[in-house]
Amino acid sequence: MRHVVILGAGTAGTMVANRLRRVLDHQEWHVIVVDRDDDHLYQPGLLEVVFGHREPGQLVRSRAAQLADGIEVVTGEVDVVDTGTKHVLLADGRRLRYDQLVVASGTSPRPEETPGMAGALWRRSVHEFYTLEGARALCAALADFDGGRLVVHVTEMPIKCPVAPLEFALLAEARMRERGLRDAVEITYVTPLSGAFTRPVASARLGHLLEERHIAVEPDFVVERVDEDTSALVSYDERSVPFDLLVTVPLNMGADFVGRSGLGDDLNYVPVDPQTFLAKGHDDIWAIGDASDIPASKAGSVAHFSVDVFVPNFLDHVAGRPMQHQFDGHANCFVESGDGKALLIDFNYEVEPLPGRYPVPGVGPMTLLDESRINHRGKQAFPWVYWNVLLPGRPIPLPSAMSMAGKHEPEATP
């Protein structure tokens, strides 16, 4: 019996496990999934918790309950991967042998990596929304915030769901208008990028939206510290952005065991072939989802499209055949903009987000790079799709490769 061990039962790990269980010979392969706890968090819902649209308990379900019958679930903390003996060592001393290893351990915020960020102001005037605890605390802080300088900040790329801080800024602006506080609040978006997003067309569209909402952008800001005495972000070039309420996206890093095992880069992401997900220098280790270093968004859609490519590649590889499928970096993301509207972006490694219609070219019904209520309703419907279709590994009639059909280059500005 051969063992495939999957480290992580989040979005990517759960989809991989369910898909492999379905296609592998049960007499030949045993699928094992390892995670530290049994709490599967629906991460796109964290912003809904922040703005009081969803209760925290609605976001968490049992990890084991999302996995198909026949998959062995191991609860425990991974200490290290011994690639020499092909064993995963758990913190409690247990050892799991693998023939093929899939690292799907995700990424997490590390506020302690920025001086002053996790200090005396943490959870008081400095907040994040990438954890359930953080979303709860920020919800309470926003309810008490009645004016002053609201700063939305990204420490460094890459981050999980790169549009989320933009969503927060736009939703916060809408909330302040609803409360009649907009004139009392100064909102600044602070980013290490040269604009609002990583790609030019989307950055221009989103930057224009921020400008319309009177949200100032502080670009090319590489934070050096949070000054607790003055309540300010300070960059390496000594720019200072004072705040009354700071909502930050801390440095994101992969799992510590990846670094301890010698499998990761400086941020504990596993270097892989970006088209096949096979770890560089290994023929029995893969990384999928946020755990890999592929130059694509760390987003759930990327995990979904990646798994569509990973599974047939895995089958080819373990059968000794050349891998026939290549991932193109396909990602699409909703961007909630407030007032019951949202944008949708669709892009890949080579093609930036462009205007158009999705998923049916010319028809939609969703619009690309334009606000619409149908986009908002699409995002509101996504939790059902997530729990009932994506995680179980059921087919979705969307190709894993990005299509240019229905997209068009924007007209040049005179």
Neighbours of 272 (CB within 10 A): 22
Residue length of the chain: 414
What tokens does 169 get?
């800024």
Mean predicted confidence (pLDDT) in 336-358: 91
| Whether the Cβ atoms of residue 190 and residue 182 lie closer than 8 Å to each other | no
Q: Supply the pLDDT for residue 198.
A: 67
DSSP state of 278: B
pLDDT (tens digit per residue) in 276-334: 999 999 999 999 999 999 999 899 999 999 999 999 999 999 999 999 999 999 999 99
**Residue % of the chain over a pLDDT of 70:** 98
| Whether the Cβ atoms of residue 213 and residue 173 lie closer than 8 Å to each other | yes
Q: What are the backbone angles phi and psi of residue 365, rounded to the nearest 5°?
A: -85, 0
> At 413, is the pLDDT very low, low, confident or very high (cuts 50, 70, 90)?
very low
Give the 3-state secondary structure percentages of the chain, helix then strand then coil, rounded to 5.
Answer: 30, 30, 45
pLDDT (tens digit per residue) in 63-118: 999 999 999 999 999 999 999 999 999 999 999 999 999 999 999 999 999 999 99
pLDDT (tens digit per residue) in 218-264: 999 999 999 999 999 999 999 999 999 999 999 999 999 999 999 99
Q: Supply the pLDDT for residue 411.
A: 62
Domains of the chain (ranges; CATH) run 2-106+255-318 (3.50.50.60), 110-250 (3.50.50.60), 332-390 (no CATH)
| 119 vs 248: CA distance, rounded Å | 14
What tokens does 93 get?
């001393």
Please determine, for residue 414, whether its predicted confidence score (pLDDT) is greater than 50. no
Neighbours of 211 (CB within 10 A): 12
pLDDT (tens digit per residue) in 156-215: 999 999 899 999 999 999 999 999 999 999 999 999 999 877 667 777 878 888 999 999
Q: What are the backbone angles phi and psi of residue 111, rounded to the nearest 5°?
A: -60, -25
- What is the pairing mode between strands 232-235 and 240-242? antiparallel
> At 364, is the pLDDT very low, low, confident or very high (cuts 50, 70, 90)?
confident
Mean predicted confidence (pLDDT) in 337-356: 91
Non-local CB neighbours of 84 within 8 Å, separated by 6+ positions: none
Mean predicted confidence (pLDDT) in 388-398: 89
Full-model pTM: 0.94
| Whether the Cβ atoms of residue 148 and residue 242 lie closer than 8 Å to each other | no
If you average pLDDT over every residue of the chain, what do you get?
94
DSSP state of 409: P
